[in-house]
Structure 1
Amino acid sequence: MTTFSTTLNHTSLRDIWYTMIGIPGLEDAHIWISIPICSMYIVAIAGNALLLFLISTEWSLHEPMYLFLSMLALADIFLSTVTTPKMLAIFWFQAGGISFASCVSLFVAESAILLAMAFNRYVAICYPLRYTNILTPSVIIKMGIASVTRSFFICFPLIFLVYRLTYCGRNIIRHSYCEHMGIARLACDSIKVNIYYGVIVALFSTCLDVVLIIISYILILCAVFRIPSREAQLKALGTCGSHVCVILLFYTPAFFSFFAHRFGGHSIPLHVHILLANLYVVVPPTVNPIIYGVKTKQIQERVMQIFSLGKTFC
């Protein structure tokens, strides 16, 4: 036993394979849980892929709003694809093994893209005559690159934070997909720096995005209420409806999960935390294209054209 422990103590972190066990306490229900998650994943991939196809092939959709929407669709496909297939493999085949490098390589850009979309709505409503001059294609591309770059530089330090820790051979991750604190909790030494960094990231990236989004919508409301026509006010607010729905869908579970982890203690069972985390990576990517498809007339018309052509050929 001593020799085995010593070997584990001196094993290179890069050589360690971890085992994720899914949702602790709900192992018997994994198959049933996998059914809605798999269904939502299929809808998410199909819906976001359809959005990307529509936006890329229809010139009338090559506007700032739809270009930002295509960025969100790409981010949603990435987020759900790097988490859900492995999650389903655990639920169906108990295939929870994963390497260290694969477990710390996840980063997301949804929050920054939602902020960019809020800025797009702000410019469209507050400066309609200068809209196309402000949000040129080059500016939109730079905003997209900035969103991805910011997310990368926020998440990249997490790799060094888990590399610096000392590990003693524990390799069971009580989760259904990899996340930074899941690995850090397996360490033998203090993880206070990891916890502090997680809080700082939440405060100065996600919370800052939320504050800026709120400010943009306050300015939007001020501009809308200055419009004399009631009909024009409702039309302006209607253009923001889908974006507001997506914002609430993304941030509500994110903040609930964050505060539950920090302040919920043992009052909220672990399986509830993990189940909500699972839904968080599949529900927004599933619902986002549906929201925009229902609330955006141009997308509805383009979808109807495609289905009409399909029926004609049949």
Structure 2
Amino acid sequence: MLMNNRTMSGLTVFSWMSAQVAPGIVTIDFSRKVAFCGPNRILHAYCDAIALTKLSCSNMVAINDSSYGLAMFVLLVPLSLIIFSYVSIIVTVMNMANAQGRWKTFSTCGTQGCLILIYYIPRFIVYSTPYMPNLTITPDLRVGLSLICSLFPPVANPFIYCFRTKEIRAILGRWRQGWRNSQTEQSKPNTVAVITR
């Protein structure tokens, strides 16, 4: 009832704008306050602020602290809104009389929850390791975690939603049945008729 084209357009524009603000602040902060006087290669798959700090010969304490605070704000504010919406969904679903509807809703939310955890937990670990003395990761693991949380959820999301629709499952079932039929046809022994006189 609340979602219409105007609301959706406003939320989309807000998402795009806010996605540009945080990296813009870090980029401007780095360009004004950080001096680079050493190597110019980073140990990362893309240009990340944490990887750039390793190349700097400036005092990075204040910049690291502000970058970490901004990263936690960008991570935790949306996460808290997601948690709030999930709690609201759970409360609403628990009041539903239809057990099948409850099961469908919880299965959808459970899958989405797993993707949310795959996104937020590795990113939190990557950004928090410099501030947690008992938590250390190698540069390769940091790159791997960054790639997992950046690539896996967007790639997996369409598959999860597609596999939930009856039409897609029916098509996949027909493909699987056709593949099995072709396999059984290939595995049948070839019989050769021998004519004797």
The residue that corresponds to 1:280 in the other structure is 149
Under a length normalisation based on structure 1, what TM-score does the superposition of the two structures give? 0.49
Give the TM-score, by structure 2 length. 0.74
SS at match of 2:149: helix
1:38-58, CA deviations, whole angstroms, 9 ceiling, x for partnerless residues? xxxxxxxxxxxxxxxxxxxxx
CA contact (8 A) 2:129 2:136 kept: no
Partner of 1:225: 94
> 2:40 aligned with 1:174, yes or no?
no
1:198 is aligned, of 61, 64, 67, to 67
Contact 2:26 2:49 in 1 (8 A): yes
Question: What's 2:55 paired with?
Answer: 186
2:22 is aligned to 154
SS in 1 for 2:57: coil
Deviation per CA, 1:17-51: give whole Å up to 9, x if none.
Answer: xxxxxxxxxxxxxxxxxxxxxxxxxxxxxxxxxxx
What is the alpha-carbon distance in structure 2 between the residues aligned to residue 297 and residue 243 of structure 1?
A: 19
Distance 1:248 1:189, change over 3 A: same
CA contact (8 A) 1:242 1:295 kept: no
- Could you say what the CA RMSD is over the residues aligned between the two structures, in angstroms? 2.7
User: 2-side partners of 1:225 and 1:265: how far apart?
Assistant: 40
Go from structure 1 to structure 2 and tell me whether the alpha carbon gap of 1:276 and 1:205 turns closer, same or farther (over 3 Å shift).
Answer: closer
More relative contact order, 1 or 2 (CA 8 Å, 6+ apart) = 1
| Aligned residue type for 2:12 | G
Corresponding pairs, count: 173
Partner of 2:8: 140
1:261, distance to aligned residue in structure 2 (A): 4.1
Larger Rg: 2
1:267 is displaced (CA, Å) by 4.0
Over the matched positions of the two proteins, sequence identity in percent amounts to 23
Q: Secondary structure at the match of 2:66?
A: helix
Stretches of structure 2 that go unaligned for 5 or more consecutive residues are 176-197
Q: 1:239 to 1:276 in 2, by over 3 A?
A: closer
Q: Are 1:215 and 2:84 an aligned pair?
A: yes
Counterpart of 1:152 in structure 2: which amino acid?
A: Q
Q: Aligned match of 1:255 in 124, 127, 140?
A: 124
Contact 1:175 1:182 survives alignment (8 Å): yes
